[in-house]
């Protein structure tokens, strides 16, 4: 059963990578009237980047778990803390691509 759960992390990573690659532009582009996209190409790139980061993270976690014989609770508990740092950097760069429209 543990082997199936470890493979599930790899499959989740692959699904996340494919989701980022083939995500529709209608979903990515903001339709709100409060913000205007300044740099469309970089905005799309930084919107897809979290999916790529999560995908590579889950694939790497699954591979590491395959080589460990027991179920490492420490890796699973502290894993989300490791992923917060790149996500916060990506979020800040994405915010530079939009500007608020004053009413």
* Cβ-contact 63, 10 below 8 angstroms: yes
| pLDDT per residue rounded down to tens, the chain (103 residues) | 678 888 888 998 999 899 888 888 777 776 666 778 888 888 888 888 888 988 898 898 888 888 877 666 766 676 677 778 788 888 888 888 888 777 5
Q: Nearest 5°: CA angle at 59, between 55 and 63?
A: 170
Q: Is 83 exposed, middle or buried (0-12, 13-18, 19+ CB in 10 A)?
A: middle
Predicted pLDDT of residue 71 = 64
* Confidence (pLDDT) at 11: 93
Pairwise CA distance, residues 97 & 39, whole Å: 5
């Amino acid at each position: 059963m543990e082997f199936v759960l470890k493979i599930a992390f790899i499959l989740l990573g692959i699904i996340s990578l494919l989701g980022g690659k083939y995500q529709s532009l209608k979903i990515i582009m903001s339709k709100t009237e409060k913000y205007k996209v300044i740099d469309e190409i970089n905005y799309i790139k930084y919107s897809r980047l979290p999916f790529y980061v999560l995908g590579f993270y889950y694939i790497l976690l699954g591979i590491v778990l395959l080589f460990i014989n027991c179920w490492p609770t420490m890796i699973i508990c502290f894993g989300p803390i490791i992923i917060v740092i790149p996500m916060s950097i990506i979020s800040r760069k994405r915010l530079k691509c939009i500007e608020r429209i004053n009413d």
